[in-house]
Amino acid sequence: VQLVESGGGLVQAGGSLRLSCAHSGLIFGDYAIAWFRQAPGKEREEISCISSMDGDTGYADSVKGRFTISSDNNKNTVYLQMNSLKAEDTAVYYCAADYRRYYYCSGYGPDEFDYWGQGTQVTVSS
């Protein structure tokens, strides 16, 4: 399984970015893909996820209403549209996948996902 993130960068507060997670090798049934982020000195936290089984999505309270996760199955890519960005959204963003989380993918820690991308830096200037 390979996951490759892209789309990070520097943006002003209030701006938008769209992250992409191109995945391959997830061929053994349904799975979930989640976006995590890790700010300096903080633990890695799950902020959004989507299930391949039914497209069900989940969001952390900190991003609900501002971020939207979506999937293009033809391109094997999951997106995270981030709007109304704040300085506290600054972090390295990772996508992760796991076959066990396809039914319910929200609220898990990083240990609960088996496959990871390399991460992409998002910096929001205030």
Percent of the chain with pLDDT over 70: 100
- pLDDT (0 to 100) of residue 18: 98
Query: DSSP of 19-79, one letter per residue?
Result: EEEEEE---SS--EEEEEEE-TTS--EEEEEEETTT--EEE-TTTTTTEEEEEETTTTEEE
Whose CA is closest to 68, among 92, 85, 45? 85
Quickly state the pLDDT bin for 104 (edges 50, 70, 90): confident
| Mean pLDDT, rounded, for 82-107 | 95
Q: Which two tokens stand for residue 89?
A: 């959204």
The structure tokens 């000195």 sit at 41
Residue 103 has pLDDT above 90, yes or no: no
Q: Which of 1-5, 19-23, 25-29, 113-117 has the lowest mean pLDDT?
A: 25-29
Say if residues 52 and 31 touch (Cβ distance below 8 Å).
yes
